[in-house]
Amino acid sequence: MNGSSPPVLAYPDRFRAGEVISTPSRSLTMGDIEAFAHLTGDENPLHLDEEFARPRLFGGRVAHGLFTLAITLGQWYRAGAFDGLIVVFSGIDKLRFLRPVRPEDSLRSQVTVVRHEASPRGDLVDLENTTFNQRDEAVLSFSARLLLARGDVSPSPGGSRSSSPSSHPATASPPASSSRPGSPTLPSSAGTTVTSPTDTPAPRAQRWRTRVPGAGP
C-alpha cells in the first residue's frame, strides 16, 4: 500500500450530472460552407453547386456533416463553460447526422453533463450533445469525453493563459464576439432564456449554463 490519496475533483461545483449548457446560435452562410470545402479539400458539388445538388436527394446544396460538427464544437467554446479548461478531447461516440443543414440555417446546441469523475490527470467529463436548427429540429447528436485541467484556467492579459485554484473563467472579460448583429434569443431546456453574446455583457460561463430541474443546486 503506497498511501497515496485518491484523486479528487478539480471542479466539484461545476459540470454536475444533469447540468445543461445551452450555446448561442450561429447562422451559416454559403461563404462559410465554401470556405470549409476549400480548407479541407472536400469540394463535393453537393456542397458547392446548386444546379448539381437541386435534382438530388436533398433538393439543393447542403453543408458538410463535419462542418456542422466543427461549428458545434466552436459553439461550446463560445458558450464559455469550457473556456481554457479542456486539456484533451478524448473522443466522440454515437455521432449521428440527423437532418441536412443548409445555407442560412441557424444552429444552436444543448450539452448535457452525463458523468463527472476525478482522475490523476484531471477531471473526466462525459457529455451528450444535440444540435438544433432554427425550427428546433435536431440535426446532429453525439456523445463526447473531455479531460479538464487541474487548477482553474482563465485568460490573462495579452492573450496568454494563467492557472490558479482561485481563478474562474466566469470572471474573465469575454473576447470580441463573431456573432452577427441581431442574433436571436433562444429558449433553454431548463425554462430560462439565454441570449446571444451581442445582447448582453454578462460573463460567458454564467450566460450559457443552466440546470435541469432536480439536478442539484
Mean pLDDT for the stretch of residues 87-110: 97
Look at residue 5 in the predicted model and tell me its pLDDT.
Answer: 79
Residue 163 lies in a domain: yes
Using CA atoms, how far apart are residues 108 and 146, in angstroms rounded to an integer? 20
- Among candidate residues 5, 7, 9, the one with its CA nearest the CA of residue 115: 9
- Among 54-68, 148-162, 176-190, top mean pLDDT goes to 54-68
Residue 189 lies in a domain: yes
Q: Considering its fold, how many domains does the chain have in total?
A: 1
Residue 107, in any domain of the structure:
yes
Angle, helices 30-40/65-79, rounded to nearest 10 degrees:
110
Domain that residue 166 falls in: 19-28+63-171+185-211
Is residue 147 assigned to a domain? yes
153 has a pLDDT exceeding 70: no
Identify whether 58 is part of a domain: no
Helices and strands, number each (H, E), in the chain: 5, 11
Grid cell, residue 184, equals 436571436
**Phi, psi of 118, rounded to the nearest 5 degrees:** -85, 150
Share of the chain above pLDDT 70, in %: 67
Q: Which residue has the cell 469540394?
A: 43
CA dist 34 and 37 (Å) reads: 5
Question: What is the pLDDT, as a whole number, of residue 126?
Answer: 98
What local confidence, expressed as pLDDT, does residue 166 receive? 34
Question: Rounded to a whole number, what is the largest CA-CA distance in the chain?
Answer: 70
CB count within 10 Å of CB 75 equals 22
What CATH number is given to the structural domain containing 165?
Answer: 3.10.129.10
pLDDT at 40 over 60: yes
Residue 53 domain flag: no
Band (pLDDT 50/70/90 cuts) for residue 2 is low
